[in-house]
Amino acid sequence: MKIGIFDSGMGGLIVANGIIRKLPQYDYIFLGDTARVPYGNRSAETVYSFTRQGVEYLLEQGCGLVVIACNTASADALRRLQKEFLPGRYPDRHLLGVLVPAVESAVATTRSKRIGVLATRGTVASKAFAREIQARLPEASVTQKPAPLLVPLVEYAGLRWARPILEDYLYELQEADIDTLILGCTHYPVLRPLIEDILGEKVSVVSQDLVVPNALEDYLKRQTQLANKLTSDRTRQFMLTDITRDNETLASRLFGEKIEFTKVELG
Ligand code: DGL
């Protein structure tokens, strides 16, 4: 069986790259729902239904485990899929999100218990990060900031305009005197050096491209039955629900190498 990685679009290629580098032996299928991206401004119900279709597609392709790389989808759909969808249809398959590894890392890092979260509007509205942090650290104070302009900046090579926008988004988090910041969106690892520069040394930045591959490795060490079912032929398939020339350029930038995509239809 393969490992599936699902994202609303292309940003998940950053975390996919981290996972594949860390665990290169396995077979992977990446699926990005580029026909319907972005998810970050959509209702929870729509995000759930799109995510269910993407995950189901990957399970039908023979994935034993699907990582939902998209924070918005992890926030709005993961728990419901684990409770309502998997047990009846695919009881032996596994579904993981990217929120919990980031939360666990932040909870282990913070000293002041003041944690910030930068994410899409949808993820902030779901309050999923705050819930997961407070479940582990009830006295934590969590300041969330929606940052809707950052995804387009990363996708359209607009990093030269990122500093003033980031300074504005981060101001509230600095005012809240956080000592740990979670980058709660697929695209934000690209902005990490700039964010670290603005926040200075006193704030630790949790980036999913670094924490999720480690969390997945630990998970597979614990889930030996699943790990034994995963095949190790080092194949990689990359699928999108819409392909344009822009996708190919962006993919090279996010994944670090040229990728051949196959088009698939969901729903
Ligand atoms: N993948 C989304 C996330 O991590 C960002 C892009 C989108 O809004 O779909 O929240």
pLDDT digits (tens, 9 = 90+) for 39-80: 999 999 999 999 999 999 999 999 999 999 999 999 999 999
Catalytic residues: 70, 185
* Cα–Cα distance measured from residue 3 to residue 59, given in angstroms and rounded to the nearest whole number: 9
* Cα–Cα distance measured from residue 163 to residue 64, given in angstroms and rounded to the nearest whole number: 41
The backbone torsions φ and ψ at residue 243, rounded to the nearest 5 degrees and listed phi first, read: -120, 125
User: How far, in Å, is the centroid of ligand 1 from the Cα of 53?
Assistant: 16
Average pLDDT of the residues in 98-104 = 98
45-52 own/partner pairs: CB under 8 Å, 24+ apart: 47/72, 47/73, 47/76, 47/77, 47/122, 48/76, 48/77, 48/80, 48/81, 50/8, 50/266, 51/6, 51/76, 51/77, 51/78, 51/81, 52/77, 52/81, 52/85
* Cα–Cα distance measured from residue 38 to residue 47, given in angstroms and rounded to the nearest whole number: 10
Residue from 185, 190, 250 to probe ligand 1 pocket by mutation (most atoms less than 8 Å from CB):
185
Straight-line distance from the first to the last Cα atom of the chain, in angstroms, rounded to the nearest whole number = 23
Strand, coil or helix: what is 21? helix
240-246 own/partner pairs: CB under 8 Å, 24+ apart: 240/10, 240/31, 240/32, 240/33, 240/34, 240/35, 240/264, 241/31, 241/32, 241/33, 241/34, 241/35, 241/36, 241/265, 241/266, 242/34, 242/35, 243/34, 244/34
User: How far, in Å, is the centroid of ligand 1 from the Cα of 224?
Assistant: 31
Amino acid, res. 128: A
- Atom 1 in ligand 1: residue holding the nearest Cα: 70
pLDDT of residue 267: 81
Question: Tens digit of pLDDT for each residue in 206-215?
Answer: 999 999 999 9
Question: Tens digit of pLDDT for each residue in 151-163?
Answer: 999 998 899 999 9
* Cα–Cα distance measured from residue 109 to residue 137, given in angstroms and rounded to the nearest whole number: 12
User: How far, in Å, is the centroid of ligand 1 from the Cα of 228?
Assistant: 32
Nearest residue to 10 (alpha-carbon basis) of 241, 213, 214, 267 = 241
Ligand 1 atom index nearest CA of 72: 10
pLDDT at 112 over 90: yes
pLDDT of residue 157: 87
* Cα–Cα distance measured from residue 163 to residue 157, given in angstroms and rounded to the nearest whole number: 13
- Atom 8 in ligand 1: residue holding the nearest Cα: 40
Alpha helices in 156-258 (DSSP H): 162-175, 192-199, 208-222, 224-229, 245-255
Strands annotated E in the chain: 2-7, 28-32, 63-68, 94-96, 114-119, 141-146, 180-184, 204-207, 236-240, 262-263
Question: Tens digit of pLDDT for each residue in 227-249?
Answer: 999 999 999 999 999 999 888 88
Ligand 1 atom index nearest CA of 185: 4
pLDDT of residue 246: 85
Average pLDDT of the residues in 144-149 = 97
CA 184 to chain centre: 7
* Cα–Cα distance measured from residue 205 to residue 115, given in angstroms and rounded to the nearest whole number: 10
Residue from 37, 149, 155, 242 to probe ligand 1 pocket by mutation (most atoms less than 8 Å from CB):
37
- Name residues contacting ligand 1 (CB within 6 A): 7-9, 11, 37-40, 70-72, 120, 123, 151, 185-186
User: How far, in Å, is the centroid of ligand 1 from the Cα of 188?
Assistant: 10
Ligand 1 atom index nearest CA of 12: 1
